[in-house]
Amino acid sequence: MERIYDLIIIGAGPAGLSAGIYAGRSKLDTLIVEKEKDGGQIVITSEIENYPGSIEGETGPSLIERMVHQAEHFGTAKVYDTIVNVELEGEVKKITGKRGEYLAKTVILATGAFPRPIGCPGEKKLVGKGVSYCATCDGALFEDMEIYVIGGGDAAVEEALYLTRFARKVTIIHRRDELRAAKSIQEKAFANPKIAFLWDTVITELKGDGLLESMVVKHVKSGEETEIFAPEEDGAFGVFVFVGFVPLSSLFENKVKMDSGYILTDDEMKTNILGVFAAGDVRKKSLRQVVTAVSDGAIAATQAEKYITQ
């Protein structure tokens, strides 16, 4: 007889791991299915200062490592597999991966989101050759060089501050005339002598033969375009993109209700399908942070347990 789990959690980011911890503590027979690596976007975050109770010098990887051990401690199982189809209707849900099929009474969708690209010519071919979406991954490659950070939110400014450890100069390019980041983060950026700003500006093209050598920027108010070249002594420079995320939800299209790719839930993380919940960055909400992701996961697991009991 095929094993039917009480709960399957798709995704091992903060939301999925939090759900796994709560489900394990409730003695639910729980399986987390993760595609590649635990942690999702948080594992590329260099510094975490706003998660309650985080230790000094906390990083994404260090926080996730503790979450993983905690979920394992409470008996939550995990497999690495790429899900290719989900059947969410009915009392038993069927999750199909490349490596096997998994059955469960309830499912939590916690697949997260991925970095939104600029969408300009040249970007795709220069990823890993000057264009990056991960400061902790690639910052050290630009030791004593110039770096441009795209975006004006918390992530963009925090990562710009981190990149000053390596670059001799970091310029934040923002399409507006003021940052959207928290005031405390802005103050740090404005006080840092290595950080400069290009306001009301967007990138329209990235150029380079093997490495990023120049970029075309446009002033959104005047329409004037300017080409910025890498310093001659460097021959290249870095562009780090932090302009938001795209939900990893295509697998669930026409399966659950969505809005602009984000899964719709109520306050109890319930989707429009009985026994199916969503948590974390993949669902529509006003704030996408680690603290809200783990809250979502806790609520979703608690509601899954109630659904099974009732």
The full set of domain ranges for the chain reads 4-115+245-309, 124-241
Low-confidence ranges of the chain (pLDDT < 70): 1, 44-47
Chain position carrying tokens 């975490």: 48
The answer to whether 102 touches 8, Cβ cutoff 8 Å, is yes
Say whether 281 is catalytic: no
Residues 104, 5: Cα–Cα separation, whole Å? 4
Using CA atoms, how far residue 75 sits from 24, 25, 158, in Å, is 6, 8, 36
Q: Which amino acid is at 221?
A: K
User: Fold identical between 4-115+245-309 and 124-241?
Assistant: yes
| pLDDT at res. 259 | 95
Chain position carrying tokens 């840092």: 192
- CATH class for domain 4-115+245-309? alpha beta
| pLDDT at res. 1 | 65
Residues 250, 94: Cα–Cα separation, whole Å? 17
- Cβ partners under 8 Å of residue 150, min gap 6: 118, 156, 173, 174, 203, 239, 240, 241, 242, 243
The answer to whether 123 touches 26, Cβ cutoff 8 Å, is no
Nearest by Cα to 279 from 297, 255, 261? 297
pTM as predicted: 0.78
Say whether 138 is catalytic: yes
Q: Which of 120, 137, 200, 234 is catalytic?
A: 137
3-class secondary structure, 62: helix
Nearest by Cα to 262 from 239, 242, 236, 286? 286
Chain position carrying tokens 């669902």: 283
Q: Which of 138, 154, 281, 296 is catalytic?
A: 138
Q: Does domain 124-241 have CATH number 3.50.50.60?
A: yes
